[in-house]
Structures are given as C-alpha cells and as structure tokens.
Amino acid sequence: MSRSSLAAIAFAVLAGCSSHAETVCQDALAALDACLAAATAGTSCVALASAETACGGGGTDGGPTPDAGPVAACTASRDCLASCYLRAVANTCAPSLQELETSQACGATCPP
C-alpha cells in the first residue's frame, strides 16, 4: 500500500466516521482480507475450516454456533495441527477416539 493511501486512511480515521472515511476503511479492509486469503489459500488451516463448515451446525442442538469472533491466524503450529488432524481422520465431522489419539500424537511433533 502506498504512503498516499496510508495517509488517506489515517486522515479519514482522524476526520471521524464520514461516508468517505467508511469507504476508505472498507476498501482497505477488503484489500487486507484478499491479501490474507491469498496467503493462506493452500494451508491445512483453510482445508480444515472448509471441512468443518461442511459438517453443518455446530451448536449443542445441531444448530449454528454463535459467532466466535475473528478467525485465528494460521501459524506454523496451527497449520501443522490441522494437517495432523486431516491426515488422521476419515470423517472430520465424526472422528473416532483412535483417530483423535493419532492426531494428538502427530500434533505433539508440531512446532510450539
């Protein structure tokens, strides 16, 4: 992002929540989201999130789960743990106890 773009964002934020500021912030947020999506597209974190989404509702009653807030960063450790889980389980929505134990053993070798 150029200095003039950063300056425009800073000015818009300092100027208050005008419609221009909201547009600039929304554009900057969209650009950041696109950058992060491109950077994490091939990771096990994304593959696991997709697999979990396919499971359907995650609430105790089978309904949707409440919004848990922002998605955790896909660090090397989280990507390794996700990879271990995906390799160990046949059905990400209903892993067996043995599969969970295998995933946990693999996860013990992941970086902290």
Angle, CA 44 vertex, CA 40 and CA 48 arms, to 5°: 110
Closest residue by Cα to residue 39 from 71, 85, 81, 3: 71
Which helix (H) or strand (E) element contains residue 83? helix 76-88
From first to last of its 112 residues, the chain has per-residue pLDDT tens of 544 554 555 555 555 555 666 787 888 888 888 887 787 788 999 999 989 988 876 555 555 555 666 777 889 999 999 999 999 999 999 999 999 999 999 999 999 9
Kindly state whether residue 49 falls inside one of the protein's structural domains: no
9 falls within a domain: yes
Does the residue 23 lie in any domain? yes
- Which pLDDT value is given to residue 25? 83
Q: Collect all residues with Cβ–Cβ distance below 8 Å to 28 and sequence separation of at least 6.
A: 1, 5, 9
Q: How many domains does the chain have?
A: 2
Residue 95 lies in a domain: yes
**Domain-embedded: residue 58:** no
Look at residue 26 and tell me if it is in a domain: yes
Tell whether 7 is covered by a domain. Answer: yes
Element (H, E) at 66: none
Alpha carbon distance 39, 36 (integer Å): 5
Note down the domain range covering 103: 72-112
Does residue 67 belong to any structural domain of this protein? no
